[in-house]
Structure 1
Amino acid sequence: MNREAVQSIAAAIEAMKPDFTKLSDRIWDFAELKFEETRSSELLASTLEDNGFSLRRGVAGMETAFIGDFGAGKPVIAFLGEFDALAGMSQVANLAAHEAVIEGATGHGCGHNLLGVGSLMAAIALARHMKANTLPGTVRYYGCPGEEGGSGKTFMVRAGLFDDVDAALTWHPAPFNGVRSTNNLAVIEYYYRFKGVAAHASNAAHLGRSALDAVELMNVGVNFLREHMPQDCRVHYAITDTGGKAANVVQAKAEVLYLIRAPEMPQALDLAKRVEKVARGAAMMTETDVEIVFDTASTNLLPNITLETAMHENMTALGPVAFDEVDLTFARSIQQTFTDEAIKSSIRLYQIKGDVFSNAKVDGSTPLHLGLREFEGQSHFRAGSTDVGDVSWVTPTAQCWTPAWAIGTNPHTWQVVAQGKSAVAHKAMAHAAKALATTGLSLMISPSLVARAKAEWLEKTEGKPYVCPIPMDIMPGDKA
């Protein structure tokens, strides 16, 4: 794509930035949890309507899910937006110290206030460019609720809402700038609920059957299982109900939640069967009963090198994010809350290596990523999970990252929330919008790019058809 088109879209997004910064900050203020994002969802949806998009609200059985369309015909280019927050992440904005606005309240600990608005800017900017240049095709924005433990996109995929999409584009706030092709893990979550018999823990302990003992034995058994599962798999747990606080009672109920991850969903399901055997063994040992309740699931991410290469080329044309000394000073104050090891770990995690523009090595001495990460043209293992994975199994999908956070910042921390309203975050959000919109335009004007992305996707999915990991009888927001 020619540089003039890139610069035209970049300038348009820069002009949009003040209004959309306010939009992002309002969603930061709302900080609504999964499937409860009523105000955030309506704010994004109404902004699309104000910009000429036709809206479908409440899709896939989710009140806060919506789709906005602009234009008609092929290609259909999708932009994915998220807007849910996290529990217990309240934090004062622009403060380099841990201080809640309201203790125990919610907060945007993964930057989704930026994510949803950045994708929205991209969709609107591309729609305006299409109209001005009479280009054929459809720009579509997906308002995706419940990414944090709700698998909102998985429900949308299950409902067939991506069946006519030619390519999907998204981004995420991060401590780095660029494209990194990743193989995220599939994840499936279950509650294991044990029921026993209450008794006085001293006078009649022999009459009791401890559900809490069963949970503890299950956890020990799974710890031993970890030695005998594939090394790329992960199993995590949280005891969500200990049965009570009285030590002199044999606990009659207890519950533990397990997240089971593997490189592909069939492996995760196989590993879940082994975890189930451990749970039933624990129940047998304690003479308790166990109920296994499905919670949610997301499929592993399927990278598309063709799309990612196109996105990297557009990010190269855009140049680095224009940070100034004020941005660096704020980022440095945030970075001072990290250990040296945390900073090094962040660089390793995101594999922030050479810089496209200067070939300088990123070592954390500069608090913000000032360049553009090299793109190797191959995928890397990443142990996280996302419902973007389900989208990638039904249409070619690509993702970029932009430096909204100081190097060393990890998701789901108070430091993310503290940076969510900063000038750094706003600049990174606009930069992501430029990268997404220009890549969307590349697809609009290049049928061969769409064809090559689809050919790669077909090659990777051949013999591995997508099977939705969420049973049809499970509905969004069902309380496990």
Structure 2
Amino acid sequence: MKNNDVKTYLAQNKETFEKISMYIYDHPETRFEEYESAEYLAAECEKAGFSVERNAGGIETAFVATFGSGFPVIGFLGEFDALSGLGQKPDKTAYEPTEVNVGHGCGHNLLGTGAFAAACTAKKYLEDHNLSGTVKFFGCPGEEGGSGKTFMVREGVFDGVDAALSWHPSPANAIMSLSSLANYQVYFRLKGVSSHAANSPHLGRSALDAVELMNVGVNYLREHIVPEARIHYAVTNTGGISPNVVQADAEVLYLIRAPKVQQVDDIYKRVCKIAEGAALMTETELSIEFDKACSNYIPNRSLEKLLHESLVEAGTEKPGEEEVAFAEELWSTLSDGEKENYLDLIKGFGYVGNGSEFEGKYLADSISPYEASNEVLAGSTDVSDVSWVVPTAQLTAATSALGTPLHTWQMTTQGISSFAHKGMLRAAESMALTAVQLFEDEEKLKAVKQEFDEFSKANPYICPIPNAVKPSTLK
């Protein structure tokens, strides 16, 4: 199957894949509650001729779709979870939230569908050429704050896969060659004693005081950790809304990030000590619940080169006038800071250049050169844990206007636009062409696996999520 065959297949099935993307977009669900999206996509896999294993890794909304048999085994990673607070009506140039304020502010309706389209195209290649080999599509829930793939890795779901491919929507077309931040997400709960805040405050022990003291202590810690690290927190329980009651219960959720898992673990232990100190100061009881974690991403340069060749071969097309006009209106909704930061945003996705090709434009219609980067993306992804156990590469395809930040209503509103679906199919074509290279040329796959094996021998994988921890929904 040559490039024209791949294009023809995707063009012939364009409406099917767009329909799937729109269904997932119209049924936004948060982490590990993607019941409708997962079942719909799994059913589409069966309709396309894949056998489907549901409840993969013991996760209700995870599944693995398989076609073929034998070597090599090529996997495609698909996501379909949405974000709370980012409900937005599509194709609007102003903020118009939906009644159920959940939306695809990270484009996972496109991500999952594009990976599925790539898997279908690779399957067609095996069928047309009567070749041995296996295509696997992984339905991966809970990427947003849940580290679904990390749980799946822990349970051995990706065992036996020879190479894995994925992508992510963004404003640019490039190879995602940067590493990422590892993280831990942990609940700190404080238990005190309630009392009348005026009549008998001396009898109370404030859990909220403990949370506030903990947060102050962690803010002082920031000066004494590696500069690339990030510590975020959200007070998830303040103990009530009555100021005349000493709050007996309070909770804070921490997300700790750093370039390496060991760095995260070191910072986490220090945060725990601060929490213990806050509990001692307020005579409250502390309990700690580990929620989830993920590792740092390990790029496979050999596979990235193949993926970039395929992205260049897939190419781009000139945006239509209506698409440009829509993008220009969305650009006008961005803050000055977001406009000034547009180049840094796409550099985080692997874009290489000075932005000169975007002068006077609002949509990317070019493909970035490939350059292996030693920099670290200031963000996290559970694709990282897959990359520790399987040679992995990712690309990004332009689905939104330049400057569009992820996790915003502007990203959500562009989620099923014609430009977004063009980018989705470009990503699918690029991944499918890469799979074709791996099926056809054993030497290329050998180079990919050799690079991976050299890394693995020196860096054995340890899952950052303890065995006792189970996937959790938003609380």
TM bracket, shorter-chain basis: over 0.9
Counting matched residue pairs gives 473
Runs of 5+ in structure 1 lacking a partner?
none
Mapped pair 1:174 → 2:163: no
Residue 241 (structure 1) aligns with? 237
Contact 1:32 1:106 in 2 (8 A): yes
Contact 1:69 1:139 in 2 (8 A): yes
The residue identity in structure 2 corresponding to 1:75 is P
Percent identity over the alignment? 47
**Counterpart-to-counterpart distance in 1, 2:78 and 2:21:** 12
Report the more deviating stretch, 33-42 or 91-100.
33-42
Residues 26-59 of structure 1 show CA distances to partners (whole Å, capped at 9, x for unaligned) of 1100001111111111111111111211111111
TM-score (norm 1): 0.95
Mapped pair 1:94 → 2:91: yes
* Counterpart selection for 1:405 from 397, 400, 420: 400
TM-aligned CA deviation for residue 461 of structure 1: 2.6
Report the more deviating stretch, 317-326 or 67-76.
317-326
Contact 2:64 2:139 in 1 (8 A): yes
Residue 188 (structure 1) aligns with? 184
* Counterpart selection for 1:473 from 460, 468, 472: 468
The residue identity in structure 2 corresponding to 1:117 is T
Residue 62 (structure 2) aligns with? 65
Q: Secondary structure at the match of 1:91?
A: coil
The residue identity in structure 2 corresponding to 1:34 is R
The residue identity in structure 2 corresponding to 1:401 is T
Residue 415 (structure 1) aligns with? 410
* Counterpart selection for 1:447 from 442, 445, 464: 442
Residue 384 (structure 2) aligns with? 389
Residue 129 (structure 1) aligns with? 125
Closer/same/farther in 2, CA of residues 8 and 95 from structure 1, 3 Å limit = same
Residue 46 (structure 1) aligns with? 43
Contact 2:30 2:474 in 1 (8 A): no
TM-score (norm 2): 0.96
Residue 294 (structure 1) aligns with? 290
The residue identity in structure 2 corresponding to 1:216 is E
Report the more deviating stretch, 407-416 or 362-371.
362-371
Closer/same/farther in 2, CA of residues 208 and 108 from structure 1, 3 Å limit = same
Contact 1:7 1:318 in 2 (8 A): no
Mapped pair 1:152 → 2:143: no
Mapped pair 1:219 → 2:204: no
TM-aligned CA deviation for residue 189 of structure 1: 0.7
The residue identity in structure 1 corresponding to 2:43 is S
Contact 2:66 2:137 in 1 (8 A): yes
Residues 291-333 of structure 1 show CA distances to partners (whole Å, capped at 9, x for unaligned) of 1111111111111111111111111112224422221111111
Report the more deviating stretch, 85-94 or 166-175.
85-94
Residue 320 (structure 1) aligns with? 316
Contact 1:179 1:312 in 2 (8 A): yes
Contact 1:321 1:431 in 2 (8 A): no
TM-aligned CA deviation for residue 378 of structure 1: 3.0
The residue identity in structure 1 corresponding to 2:97 is A
TM-aligned CA deviation for residue 360 of structure 1: 6.8
Contact 1:299 1:389 in 2 (8 A): yes
**Counterpart-to-counterpart distance in 2, 1:5 and 1:321:** 19
Contact 1:186 1:385 in 2 (8 A): yes
**Counterpart-to-counterpart distance in 2, 1:305 and 1:13:** 27
Instruction: Report the RMSD for the aligned CA atoms in angstroms.
Output: 1.6
Residue 161 (structure 1) aligns with? 157
**Counterpart-to-counterpart distance in 1, 2:441 and 2:308:** 16
Q: Write out the 4+ residue segments of structure 1 that deviate beyond 6 Å after TM superposition.
A: none
**Counterpart-to-counterpart distance in 2, 1:93 and 1:165:** 37
Contact 1:344 1:363 in 2 (8 A): no
Mapped pair 1:5 → 2:2: yes
TM-aligned CA deviation for residue 361 of structure 1: 1.6
Contact 1:308 1:398 in 2 (8 A): yes
Residues 105-146 of structure 1 show CA distances to partners (whole Å, capped at 9, x for unaligned) of 211111111100000000001101111012221010000111
